[in-house]
């Protein structure tokens, strides 16, 4: 069952608000990562590389949680629990470039934010998180 994101809290997922993504490591320990995210109307989207722990953890155990706190009001926050429904390649860097523009005001992630030398050396992927429980405060 998909949970609804309240209109009053959409801005926390459409950014630029840094979020904390919690994944579960193979040994059962939770692991937190600060991430950029976006909302496509159905999924919370987190872009990563296929070699990062969060991506590997989500492949092993798709259950995740994501919390975003309004930087101007710490009592306005959202906790999204759900699962990574898909891990989708981002070979043309569309998502990471959109996130770089949203969060940093630059056109391209590689070259404008991250070193251009990394372009083509990392396989970017989108973690598409389907919300199953949402707590909004």
Q: What is the pTM of this model?
A: 0.94
Residues 79-91 have a mean pLDDT of 98
Domains and CATH numbers, the chain: 7-136 (2.30.110.10)
3-class SS at 120?
Answer: coil
| Residue 130 host element (H or E) | strand 124-136
User: Is pLDDT of 119 > 90?
Assistant: yes
* Res. 23 pLDDT band, cuts 50 70 90: very high
Residues 42-52 have a mean pLDDT of 97
* Res. 131 pLDDT band, cuts 50 70 90: very high
Mean pLDDT (the chain, rounded): 97
Question: What is the reported pLDDT for 65?
Answer: 98
Question: What is the reported pLDDT for 1?
Answer: 75
* Res. 11 pLDDT band, cuts 50 70 90: very high
DSSP string, 33-89: EEE--EE-SS-EEEEEETTSHHHHHHHH--EEEEEEE-TT-TT-EEEEEEEEEEEEE
Residues 101-114 have a mean pLDDT of 96
Residues 78-91 have a mean pLDDT of 98
Residues 73-98 have a mean pLDDT of 97
Residue 88, CA distances (Å) to 26, 46, 55, 75, 135 in order:
21, 11, 11, 33, 26
């Amino acid at each position: 069952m998909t949970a609804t994101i309240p209109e009053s809290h959409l801005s926390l997922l459409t950014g630029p608000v840094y979020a904390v993504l919690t994944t579960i490591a193979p040994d059962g320990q939770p692991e937190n990562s600060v991430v950029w995210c976006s909302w496509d109307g159905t999924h919370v989207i987190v872009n990563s590389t296929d070699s990062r722990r969060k991506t590997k953890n989500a492949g092993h155990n798709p259950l995740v949680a994501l919390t975003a706190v309004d930087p101007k009001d710490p009592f306005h926050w959202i906790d999204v629990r759900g699962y990574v429904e898909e891990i989708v390649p981002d070979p043309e860097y569309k998502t990471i470039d959109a996130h770089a523009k949203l969060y940093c005001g630059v056109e391209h992630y590689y070259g404008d934010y991250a070193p251009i030398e990394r372009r083509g050396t990392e396989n970017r992927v989108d973690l598409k998180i389907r919300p199953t429980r949402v707590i909004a405060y």
